[in-house]
Chains A and B, each alone.
Chain A
């Protein structure tokens, strides 16, 4: 950490000046009773530190801590947009699990989406990482292009995909037609599985470069000589991959999986903009349904209860991440 910064700083030239000034300042006697000084100084320092972090903490308190508490409180109420809220205990939670089919279906759909896309992203990301592993200019160019879709926004990417795969005006249609193939792309937007696959292709295009970059970092941590030794010993590429490379990359793999799992559980834009929940709310994700409940039906209390359930789900994933990451350290 210090090593990297020492280059721009180069404190060495003025050591002499520093030494002389130290003498000067002590003789000036800034603080009476030198030995007792530190405690006073320390206290002053702490106040400076606290003062410096206060503005950020204030914002965090108002727009993060308060909303978390308020969410729990709201979830116990019937809370309309306007008018008085009424306390109803756990009724919102009971309703979520017993009377709201769309919510349960949206959770199920979100889980299906997550379970399908996570291995796709991982395998594709790993394959790309192997592909661009060799250090060369062309590799760098390929990496850069593969990564580029990641930097644009999810909304922009969704609008783009809406156009790109549009059944009549879109470019995919133009290309397929020019190749002499007729494909009815309407189902890519209005039927559950075709629409899901369309979204998965879009998301893979958009984020696989990110996974590739992280996995490339992990791949480079695998010592070359170990692999060569294994090769000499006659281990085939599959053995080397599953027996050496993947186990050594474990921390990166966990990280990458957590990114794609937590990202997929929060999916919204790609479905809201591309499938619009069609057909009949079958491609509505959990966040999408919370949005519908809170901001189109304005049942804020019920929306808050659904958010709490969602949050618990996310915290379970986060806890699993921490446990998995701590695991390898112990053995």
Chain B
């Protein structure tokens, strides 16, 4: 099932899903550096066009992201100006002050999104660490079957199950609540995160556990004091994906929340995007887009090795 790949470059081949993140994440996905003669040859006439192409492509990829930032810094007057401008002629904090104006609802949306994302991360980390410990260190009756049920959750996307999920939430009395949303989000983060955590726990050598138990450690303190520090890379990967998926999720929040005061940021932005009286407040929408991108970009740039690792172990399953 795993992708074959040359040994030196394997950043996260499925056999080492989270145990040891590669040194430089995206940089690490390279062929063996020994191929230097070829590289030297490439640095000739081809080199110039490679650089030109690269710079053009980078501009094209960065342009839309940049345009949200510049849009959020334009004054309302400049946004009305035709023909439109790309770079703001005068910098204006107007859209940003509206974003943080409580009457706009975006601040509330931001708070709700944070609550939901952090709640999902907390619950997912606890549950998937426990389950990873159970599946990774123990064999019990039905463990293979139960693990299969957990993994089945990866095959069936939650957007197809929203109709019955809304009925279940109503029956449990947690419909139209952030708690209900957290429970649903957590459930659909669990398959991937349990998969990651099970591999992390299974990678711990038995001798460590035996030694600790013989030294008189209780099972619980083995788990908390010895195992948990060892599976931190797995926990970080699980937390990153739980956060990003909860933070970015749109359809579930749109469907499962009906009270405006509970809307998460993407849902609030959707109401903004419809616009009042047919006029869209582009400045506010752009500022909202920038705010919703910030955590994603921060996580990606700061925790890149865990992020890329997670992608490869997710791909390898």
Q: Which residues of A contact B (CB under 8 A)?
A: 1-2, 4-9, 11, 14, 17-18, 21-22, 25, 45-53, 55-57, 59-60, 62-68, 70-71, 74, 128, 131, 133-136, 138-149, 151-156, 159-164, 166, 168-171, 173-175, 177-178, 205, 209-210, 213-214, 216-221, 223-224, 251-252, 255, 259, 262, 266, 268-269, 272-273, 287, 290-291, 294-295, 300, 303-304, 307, 310-311, 314-315, 318, 325
Question: Which of A62, A138, A163 contacts B68 (CB under 8 A)?
Answer: A163
Number of A-B contacts (CB under 8 A): 363
Known contacts: A4-B19, A154-B250, A162-B273. The answer to whether A220 contacts B31 by CB under 8 A is yes
Residues of chain A contacted by B146 (CB below 8 angstroms): 53, 57
Residues of chain B contacted by A221 (CB below 8 angstroms): 3-6
Query: Chain B: which residue is nearest A57 at the CB level?
Result: B146
Residues of chain B contacted by A154 (CB below 8 angstroms): 248, 250
**Nearest-CB distance from A289 to chain B (Å)?**
12
0/1 per residue, B6-25, Cβ < 8 Å to A? Answer: 10010100011001100010
Residues of chain A contacted by B131 (CB below 8 angstroms): 52-53, 55-57
How far is A199 from B204 in the complex, measured between Cα atoms in Å? Answer: 46
Tell me if B19 and A149 are in contact (CB < 8 A). no
Question: Which of B68, B85, B251 contacts A268 (CB under 8 A)?
Answer: B251
Residues of chain B contacted by A133 (CB below 8 angstroms): 30-31
Query: Chain A: which residue is nearest B19 at the CB level?
Result: A4
Tell me if B211 and A5 are in contact (CB < 8 A). no
Tell me if B168 and A66 are in contact (CB < 8 A). yes
Residues of chain A contacted by B50 (CB below 8 angstroms): 131
Tell me if B282 and A49 are in contact (CB < 8 A). no
Residues of chain A contacted by B289 (CB below 8 angstroms): 156, 159-160, 163
A-B contact pairs, 21 of them (CB 8 A): A6-B205, A8-B230, A11-B211, A46-B139, A47-B140, A48-B138, A64-B152, A64-B156, A140-B24, A143-B29, A146-B58, A149-B65, A153-B244, A153-B266, A154-B248, A166-B282, A178-B83, A220-B6, A221-B3, A224-B38, A268-B250
Residues of chain B contacted by A146 (CB below 8 angstroms): 57-58, 61
Tell me if A59 and B183 are in contact (CB < 8 A). yes
Known contacts: A1-B19, A18-B211, A49-B140. The answer to whether A163 contacts B24 by CB under 8 A is no
Tell me if A25 and B248 are in contact (CB < 8 A). no
